[in-house]
Amino acid sequence: MPLVRGKLNIIYEDKDVLVIDKPAGVKADDFEKRVHRLDKDTSGILLIAKNDESLNFFQKQFKERKIIKKYLALVEGKIKESQGRIETLIGRAPKDRRKQKVYLPFEPKAKGKRKAISEFKVLTHLRQGFDRQERYYTLVEVLPKTGRKHQIRCHFAFLGHPIAGDKLYGFKNQLCPKGLSRQFLHASYLEIKLPDSKVKIFCSDLSKDLKEVLKNLKTHPV
């Protein structure tokens, strides 16, 4: 896909890299030499290499887990712990080839599946509605230590707290918070070394649609 700059929110650019604030609805796969992937309905920071040398340079950092990524996610229900670590194996779901599935090491089908690690910190608890109609949510900051496909979405569904608005991994008949039309997942932070050896930090504020969703919710104690 050619880079139509007038339609991109560019966070940073030099001769080696272009960092954009990807809107929801745009496929990361459409960009040539993308260094990593974001799901179509996930917004936020996307790193695009401008030449083969820088592509190899960045991919090596991702492979060696030398980069730091952070995401903001709104998940269903109350997570009572202030922080946590999810460490499992992940592989393709046999009953739905679109999805990934968590496998535990002792399972017979776990052989050959890849390790996936996500750490998270609870930022706030929220609710919508009143009395018996109340629904609860938790806003979390997630630090994926590995980069498996659908890792965050799969991990939080495994915990029983799927990402709000996630039609693929959510509960059957899962209701969305008011105003949410896609999964509430945003790539908000990226720290990486550039080919010139400088370490750069890139940040992205929540997109307008996700900010509106939070405005419609009320804070709630655990």
Write out the two tokens for 97.
């080839």
Mean pLDDT confidence for 129-135: 75
Per-residue pLDDT, 49: 94
Per-residue pLDDT, 2: 45
Contacts 24+ apart (CB under 8 A), 202-209: 202/11, 202/12, 202/19, 202/45, 203/45, 204/11, 204/21, 204/43, 204/44, 204/45, 206/72, 207/23, 207/24, 207/43, 207/44, 209/24, 209/179, 209/180, 209/181, 209/182
Helix, strand, coil shares of the chain, percent, nearest 5, are 20, 35, 45
User: How much is the pTM?
Assistant: 0.91
106 membership: H or E segment, kind and range: none
Per-residue pLDDT, 67: 95
Instruction: List the catalytic residues.
Output: 39
Per-residue pLDDT, 1: 41
Per-residue pLDDT, 104: 84
- CATH domain 5-219 topology: Pseudouridine synthase (3.30.2350)
Q: How many residues does the chain have?
A: 222
Question: Chain centroid to CA 129: how far?
Answer: 27
Buried residues in 53-70 as b, exposed as e (16+ CB within 10 A): ebbebbeeebeeeebebb
Q: Which residues share a beta bridge with 95?
A: none
**135-175: per-residue pLDDT in tens?**
999 999 999 999 999 999 999 999 999 999 999 999 888 88
Residue type, 102: V
